[in-house]
Amino acid sequence: MKRNRYSSEVKWAVVKDKLSGNFTDKEILERHGIKNRAQIASWMKWYKNNETYRFDQPIGQQYAYGFRYDFKNGQERQDHQLSQLKMENEVLKKYLEIKRGLEKKR
């Protein structure tokens, strides 16, 4: 059985779609080419537990954030962390937007 590899962009897109509430799991699976609903559940669990660093980790052995990346210098590491924080910020903004929309409907 072949293991699928999904980019961090796909993982973030799945989390955004799931948080928006506009798509069912089946629609998310088809939209992003994911083969199993358990994968969505794993990524959502990581997101809810603030383990988003795992989105960039390869399949297999999981490790502590940033310890096994082969950064050439400190600037590269900072750039990576900055991109992670920007993606996380986008998800949080989307969540707040959805929350406000739901509160207006009440």
43 in any annotated domain: yes
63 in any annotated domain: yes
Q: What is the Cα–Cα distance from 93 to 89, expressed in whole angstroms?
A: 6
Q: What is the pLDDT of residues 74-92, one digit of tens each?
A: 788 888 889 889 999 999 9
pTM greater than the 0.75 cutoff: no
1 in any annotated domain: no
23 in any annotated domain: yes
Identify the domain containing residue 17 by its residue range: 8-105
15 in any annotated domain: yes
85 in any annotated domain: yes
CA distances from 67 to 1, 32, 56, 70, 77 (A): 29, 29, 12, 9, 10
Residue with tokens 């961090």: 8
56 in any annotated domain: yes
> Using 50, 70 and 90 to split pLDDT, how confident is the model at 69?
low
Q: Is pLDDT at 62 greater than 70 in this prediction?
A: no
98 in any annotated domain: yes
Q: How many distinct structural domains can be found in the chain?
A: 1
